[in-house]
Structure 1
Amino acid sequence: MTDFRAALALCLVVLLSLVAQPLGAQPVRAQDARFGDANMAVALYADGAPVAGEEWMLALRFRPSAPEWHGYYANPGDAGQGMDLTLDLPDGWTMGEPIYPVPERLVIAGLMNHIYEGDYTVLVPVRVGSDAAALDAPLTGFVAYLACTDRICVPQDARLEATRGGDFDRWRAEVAPLLDREGGFEIVGETLRVAIPLPADLALSDPHIFVRQSDLGGGARVDYAAPQRFVRKGNLLVADIPLAGAAPEGSGLASLSGIIGFGDGEGLRFDAVPQSISIDGAMPLASEAELPSLWLLILASFAGGLLLNIMPCVFPILSLKALALAKAGGDERAARHDALAYMAGVVLACAVLGALVMTLRAAGQQVGWAFQLQESGVVLALFALTAAITANFLGLFELPGFAISGRGPSTSGSFATGLLAAFVATPCTGPFMALALGAALVLAPLEGMAIFVALGVGLALPFVAVGFVPRLRRLLPRPGPWLARFRAWMALPMGLTVVALGWLVWRLGGWTFVGLAALIAILVVAGLVVLLARGNRLGWAALVAALLLGWWSASQPLAREVSAADSLLDPQPFSESALAEARASGRPVFVWFTADWCVTCKVNESVAIEREATRAAFEEAGVVTLRGDWTRRDEAIASFLADQGAAGVPLYLWYPPGSEARQLPQVLTPQALPDLARDPSPAAAPGSDR
C-alpha cells in the first residue's frame, strides 16, 4: 500500500510539473512527446477518408507492453489520470467527446480506480468542415496519458498521425453504445440518485455506474469505493451513489453522463438531465432467490416483535399492563376492548415509525430502525418520559385510566399505553428482526408496511391473548395490597432506564446537556404532580416551560463529539477504506456496529465482546477488529448497513481470510467469538444469517 501511494504521489508530481510548463507559449503543432509510449503504445487510426459536412470516426488504439500495465477511463476514480487529447484540426472542424469501452474496477488500499487492462480502443468522432482543400491533408495530434501497474505509474505521451484502416467494426462493438433515451439524476444530501431507462426484463448480475464527471459542483464528487444501491421501478433502474461530501444547493450541474456496466465488459453509455426521482414502489435488484419470501419475512418480523416483550426496555410497562388486564375480572367485553385498543396503539406506532423510515430513505436519507434516537430532541423527550413513568410507579401522581397507573383498564388508556410501549421498545432489537426490517426497507411500500405491522402485532399479541382468553387472565395474580409494592419495585428497572438514557445524554452533549435534560425532567414531573393533584395553572406553566426548554435544547448544535468507548479488542473506527485494508491483510476481520442507545448492543458487548477470553483468542488468531459507532447519524455506516440488508444495529460481521462476510446472530453467546477465532474457516459462523 505504501509503495502504491508513493508511486502515485510521484506520478502526480510529474504531471503537475508538465502542467506548470509554459505550453501555451508554443503552438500545439510544435508540441513534442517528452516521455514516449514505451510502456503503453498508442496509434491513431481513421475510418476511411473524411467527407465534408459528415462525421468522421477516429480511433486511439492503446497497447500495453506487458499485462501488468493498465490505462484509465475519462474519470479515473480516486487515483490515476484520464487522457488529454489534442487534434490539429482545420478551421471549421470539431472534435466530439471520446467514446470509451466499459472500464473495470480496481481497488487498492480502499481507493477505486476505473481502468482498462490489455489492448483497448477509444473512439473519437470528428465533425468535418466544408473546406475541401483540407480533406486530403494528413491529420496529426498529441495525446498525454498515464500507464500504471499496481505499484508504479509512468506518464506517457505521443505525437500522432492518423493512419487509414483498422478494425472499426470490432472497435465500435467494443465501446459502450449510447442509450437512445435520456435518464435523470438528482442530488439529495450526500447521495447522487440516477435513473436509467432499461427494460424491466434485462438481467443484471453486477451493475455499477461509472460517472464521467469528476466534479459534481461545489467540490462534491462520487465516493467511488462506496457500494452503490440499485432498485427497479418498472422500466427504470435507479441507483443511489454515495458522495464524498454533500453538494451545495444550486450547484448548477446541468447534465450527467457515464457508463453503466453490467459485468463481463458489457454496458451502456447514458446521458441524464436533472429531474425529481421517486422510488416509491421500487423493488430491490436482488433476484427473488436471494431474498426470503414475503411470508417468511412477515413471520420473522412477527417473531421479533413477540420476543421484544421480554426485553428490558418494555418489561416494566408490560408487567403493569398485565396487572391492569387482570383487574378486568370477569368482564369479558371490557377485557377484549382493552386488548384491541392496546394492539391498535402498538401497531399504529410501529406502522408510523416504519413509514417514516421508508419515506426518509426514499428521499435519499440514510436512516434505519430506531433512527429517531440519533436526534437529541427525541432523546430528551424519552429521558423526560421515562423519568415521569418512574415517578408514576413511585406513586407521586396518578394518570386515570392509564395502564402504568396500576388501575383498571380503559380503552383510551390502553391505546396510549400501546403507543408508549412500541416507542419505548425501539432501542431494542432481537433475533429475527434484522432480516425482516432490513428487507422491509428495500421492498415495495405495501410489502414493507406489512412487515412493520407484523412487528407490532407480535409485540401486542401476548396481551391480546390475555384479553381474549379468560383462562390466561385467571393465571395472573389477583389484585391486592401487594400490587402497590410491586408497582414501586417496577420503578427500579424503569429508573435504571432513566440512568441509561442519562448516560446517553452525557455521551451526546456532555454535562451541560445532562443538566438541561435533568431540568426538563424535573419540570415535567413537578408539572404533572401539581396539575393532577390540584389542577391549577402552576402545573400547566411547568409543563409549558419544559416544552419550551426542550425545544430550545434540541435546536442547539451538539459541539461534543461522541468518543469511542475503550475496548479490550482495541478496534479501529469503521470506514470502507479501513475494511478494505483489513481484508487485504490476509487476516480474519471482525466488524461490529453498535450505538450507545442500543440495549442489545451493550448486552452483547458485556457478554461476548468485551471479554478477556475473546481478546486472547483474537490476539492468537491475529484478528483485525473494526467498530462502527452509530450513536449519531453517520451516512457511511447507514449506507453500509443497508447494503448488508440490516435496518439497524447491532450488526456483527466475520470475514474469514479471502472470503466474503458472514453475518453473525444478533444475540451473541460468550463462546461465539472465541470459537470463530480458533476456526476462522468460512463455514465456521454458527447461526450466521447468510
Structure 2
Amino acid sequence: MDTPAPTRSRPAGLLRRLAAGCAAGALAWSGLTGAQPVRTEHVTAELVARSAGVQPGQSVQIGLRLQHIPHWHTYWRNPGDSGLPTTLGWTLPAGAQAGAIEWPAPKRIPIGPLVNYGYEGDLLLPLRFTAPSDAQPGSTLQLKAEANWLVCNDVCIPESATLNLALPVLAPGASVAPGPLAGRFDAAAAEAPVPLAGWRAELQRAGRDLQLRLVRQQPLQPGEALPPVQVFPYQEQVLEPARHAVYRTADGYAVQMAVAPHAAAVPATLTAIAVAPPATGGATTPWGTPQRSAEFSVAVTEVAALALPAGAVRLDDPLAGGASSQSGGKRDLLGLGAAGSDSAPRTGGGASLGLWAALALALVGGMVLNLMPCVFPVLSIKLLGLTQQGEQPARLRSHALAYSAGVVLSFLALAGLLLALRAAGSAVGWGFQLQEPGVVFALALLFFALGLNLMGVFELGTLLPQGLAGWRAQNPGMDAFGSGVLAVLAASPCTAPFMGAALGFAATQPAPQALAVFGALGLGMAMPYAALVLLPGWRHRLPRPGAWMLRLKQALAFPMFATVVWLVWVLGLQAGIDGAAQALLALLGLAALVWLLGLLRQPTVAARLGAATGMAAMVALLVWSWPSAQPAAAPQGDAATAADGRTAAAGAAWQPYSDAAVSEQLAQGRTVFVDFTAAWCVSCQVNKRLVLTQPAVLADFDKAQVVRMRADWTRRDAEITAALARLGRNGVPVYALLRPGQEPLLLPEILTAGLVRSALAGL
C-alpha cells in the first residue's frame, strides 16, 4: 500500500524528506567517489558525472575524462591525416540510454608533414545519459564502458580501459547537487558547436583547391577586428589538413583549403565547424555567442579557378597549428607552419609596402627592366627605329611620345587583364599570358615574321592594302607605338630588381592602386629610351646613311630568330614534343604564306589564283598547328630541369617543389632553397645556367646541407602562385632561402655565385 505524500503541515514528513535527501546525497557522493580512475602509461581515464545523481527517466551529463601526460594526444571525431577517434562501448541497466560523444572543439596538431585534429592535457568528452523511467529512488545505477583510444607522440599506442560509474537514483523532485567537476562540464559546453547564425557559408572548388567564404550578414565596420578561425571538417579523408590558410575579407573570412590527394570523391555538401579563440572579459566570439565553435553545412560549387578577394589579409598566427614536441614550434616562413600547419606570415616586403614606396620601386624597376635579357630581342627594333628618325626635333618628340604611350598603355592593359582574371577566380601572376601555349605560339609566329621582315623577305608596306599603307606612312608614330607594345610583350616574362616587391604590393591592392603601380612600371621602362631619343649628341657619331643600315637591319633579324628558338622550346615544355613540331611546321607555313602574298601581285590570273590557293592552304596549316589547351604531361622532375639537357644524376639534386615537401624538410630542421622559375623567363634560365648549375655552387649547397627545390611555373600552378604571394611576390624569378624558425631570405633577381655563397655562409 502506497504511503500518502507528506504535506507542509506535517513536520514529521518534512523531517523524513530531509533525512532521505541526506541519505541520497551520501549515496551519491559515495557512488561517485567509488569510481576509480584507470591509469595507463600515457593516459589516466575515468567516467565522471556532472551531478550527484539522477532522477528516474531524467537525463544527466556524464563524460569520459582523459588526462594525457605532456606531449601526448588523442583524437577528435575526424582525426585528420592519421589517427583514430576515441570510442565508448556501453553496458547499461535495462531502459537506460547513453548518447553520442558531444565533441569539444579540437586543436591542430602538426606531426612532421601531417596535421592531425585532437586534444592534449586534461580532456573531458561529455555525453548525455538518460536513466530508466522505472529506476527506484535510493538505488544505484551501475554504468560500465569499454573505452578505446589511440594516444600518440613520436609513436602511436592503442590503449583501452574498462571504466565504471555508480550513479545514485534520486527521488522525483529532489534537488540535484552539482558534482565536483561541474565546472569542467560547463567549460566543455563552451567548446561544443552551436549552429552558425548570422553568417553565410560559401564553398568553391577548382581542381583540388577549395575556398570557403564565411560572410557575416551584418556588414563589418571599418577597422573591426576579427580573430583568426580554424575549420575542421566532419568528413574524414576528404580535405588535406595541412592546407589551411585564413584571411580576413571585407565581409568576413576566406579560408583556403585543398582536397586530399587520396580522396576518392568530394561530397556535394561539406559539414564542418569553425573554431574561434576563446572569448575573454564577457565578450562573445564572432558567432555572437560564448561558444567558440559554430557548425555549418555548405554545398560545393565548381569553378574554373580561385582567387582571394581584393584586400584579403592573412590572419592565422605563425604558430597557429599548435607547436608539438615534434616540430618544436618552429615557423615555416613560406606560410605552411612548422609541419604543414596553417601559419603563413607575409614576408618579402611586398604586402608591407606603402603606395608611394611601391610606386618608387616600380619606377626604378621599370628602368632596370630595359637591361634584362627578356628585352634584348626588342633592342634591335628600337635601335633600328632610332637610326631612321633623322634630326627633326618634332619627329623625334613624336616618336618618343608614341613609344612611351605604347609601353605605358600595354602595362595598364596587362594589369587590367590580370586583375580581371584574379577577380574571376584565376590564380595568376606577372607573366601569366606566357603560361598559355597559344600565347607562346602566337609570339613565336610574330617574332619569326619580324625576323623575315628585317631580313628583307617582305616589306610590311607592300602587303598592306593601299589605303592602310598610306595611313601608316602618314602616321610614323604608329610604328613607335607598336614597338612599345612589343617591348612590353617581350619584357613581361621577367621580373627586374626592385620590381618584385612592387608587383607583390600591387597584387594585394584594390584596382586603382594596382593600376597606378603598373603605370609607374611602364613609365620607368619608357623613360630611358625616350630620354635617349631626345638627346641629340650621340646621333652625330653615327655614320652617314648608307649600305651599313641595310646590313644592320639584316643582322638584327638574328636576335628575333633566337627568340623564336626559345619560344618553341618553351612550347615544347608546355605542349610536348608534338606541340613543338607543330610550331615548327607553322613557322614553315608562315614563311610560305609571306612568299605567296608577294605572288598575288603577279600579272597573270593563273598565278594569282595559285597564290591564293596556296595561301588558303597555309592559313589552314596555321589553324591546325595551334597548340591544344590540354597541357602535356610533365617530364620527370620539373619541366624546366628535365628539359634542359642535363643528366638524371645532375637533375636529381633538385627536388620538385610542393608545400608538403617544404614543410617536411623544415620540420626536420633542414634549410630549403627554392628556385621559383619558368621556362619562359629568360632571366630564370640565365641564372640557372650561369649560377645554379655550376659545380662550385652546388658543392656549397651540399656542404651547407641545404635542400634544393625547384618550383616550375612554366604552366599555371595555383600552389606555386600562392607560395609566391605568401612571400610578397607575383612573378619570377624568386630565390628564397627558408630557414627553420627564421625569416625567409630573398636573394636578388639577378644572381651571382658570390651572392649565393654569401647567403649560404650566413646559415
Give the TM interval when normalised to the shorter protein. Answer: 0.7 to 0.9
Corresponding residue number in structure 2 for 1:480: 545
Residue in structure 2 matching 1:282, options 286, 311, 331: 311
Q: Cα distance, 1:63 vs. partner?
A: 0.8
Cα 1:246–1:580 change in 2 (3 A) is: closer
Is 1:376 paired with 2:405? no
Q: Mapping of 1:51-450 within 5 angstroms?
A: 57-64=61-68, 66-85=69-88, 95=99, 98-108=102-112, 110-124=113-127, 132-133=133-134, 142-156=146-160, 158-159=162-163, 161=165, 165=179, 166=181, 167=183, 168-173=185-190, 179-189=196-206, 190-197=208-215, 201=223, 203=225, 207=228, 209-215=230-236, 221-226=238-243, 228-245=244-261, 252-261=267-276, 268-274=293-299, 280-285=309-314, 291-324=352-385, 327-329=388-390, 334-400=395-461, 410-450=476-516
Residues 656-676 of structure 1 deviation map (CA, whole Å, 9 limit, x = unaligned): 465342221111122112223
Residue in structure 2 matching 1:608, options 671, 691, 716: 691
Q: Cα distance, 1:408 vs. partner?
A: 9.5
SS at match of 1:561: coil
Q: Mapping of 1:416-565 within 5 angstroms?
A: 416-465=482-531, 469=534, 471=536, 477=542, 480-481=545-546, 482-531=548-597, 534=600, 537-538=612-613, 540-541=615-616, 544-551=619-626, 553-555=627-629, 558-559=632-633, 561=635, 563=637, 564-565=641-642
Cα 1:324–1:52 change in 2 (3 A) is: farther
Q: Distance in 2 between matches of 1:368 and 1:660?
A: 23
Is the CA contact 1:592–1:653 (under 8 Å) kept in the aligned structure 2?
yes
Q: Distance in 1 between matches of 2:689 and 2:710?
A: 15
Q: Cα distance, 1:344 vs. partner?
A: 3.8
Is the CA contact 1:83–1:143 (under 8 Å) kept in the aligned structure 2?
yes
Cα 1:334–1:74 change in 2 (3 A) is: farther
Q: Distance in 2 between matches of 1:52 and 1:363?
A: 61
Q: Distance in 2 between matches of 1:487 and 1:618?
A: 45
Cα 1:125–1:399 change in 2 (3 A) is: farther
Cα 1:533–1:260 change in 2 (3 A) is: farther
- Segments of 5+ residues of structure 1 without an aligned counterpart are 1-34, 681-690
- Larger of the two Rg values belongs to structure: 2
Cα 1:679–1:366 change in 2 (3 A) is: same
Cα 1:509–1:316 change in 2 (3 A) is: closer
Q: Distance in 2 between matches of 1:636 and 1:611?
A: 28
Is the CA contact 1:529–1:539 (under 8 Å) kept in the aligned structure 2?
no
Is the CA contact 2:106–2:117 (under 8 Å) kept in the aligned structure 1?
no
Q: Distance in 1 between matches of 2:511 and 2:96?
A: 55
Residues 55-76 of structure 1 deviation map (CA, whole Å, 9 limit, x = unaligned): 8655443211x21321123322
Cα 1:234–1:618 change in 2 (3 A) is: closer
The letter for the 1-side match of 2:213 is A
* TM-score normalised by length of structure 2: 0.72
Q: Distance in 1 between matches of 2:544 and 2:613?
A: 35
Percent of residue pairs identical: 31
Q: Mapping of 1:655-670 within 5 angstroms?
A: 655-656=738-739, 658-670=741-753
Is the CA contact 1:526–1:542 (under 8 Å) kept in the aligned structure 2?
no
Give the aligned length. 631
The letter for the 2-side match of 1:242 is A
Is 1:628 paired with 2:741? no
Is the CA contact 2:57–2:134 (under 8 Å) kept in the aligned structure 1?
no
Q: Cα distance, 1:539 vs. partner?
A: 6.9
Q: Cα distance, 1:148 vs. partner?
A: 0.9
Q: Distance in 2 between matches of 1:157 and 1:416?
A: 80
Q: Distance in 2 between matches of 1:104 and 1:229?
A: 13
Q: Distance in 2 between matches of 1:162 and 1:409?
A: 99
Cα 1:293–1:59 change in 2 (3 A) is: farther
* TM-score normalised by length of structure 1: 0.79
Is the CA contact 1:280–1:445 (under 8 Å) kept in the aligned structure 2?
no
SS at match of 2:710: strand
Residues 99-130 of structure 1 deviation map (CA, whole Å, 9 limit, x = unaligned): 4234133231x11222322112334468x79x
* Range 526-535 or range 366-375, more displaced: 526-535
* Range 50-59 or range 324-333, more displaced: 50-59
Is the CA contact 1:383–1:502 (under 8 Å) kept in the aligned structure 2?
yes
- Segments of 5+ residues of structure 2 without an aligned counterpart are 1-37, 168-177, 286-291, 316-344, 602-607
SS at match of 1:671: helix
Cα 1:300–1:158 change in 2 (3 A) is: farther
SS at match of 2:235: coil
Cα 1:479–1:391 change in 2 (3 A) is: farther
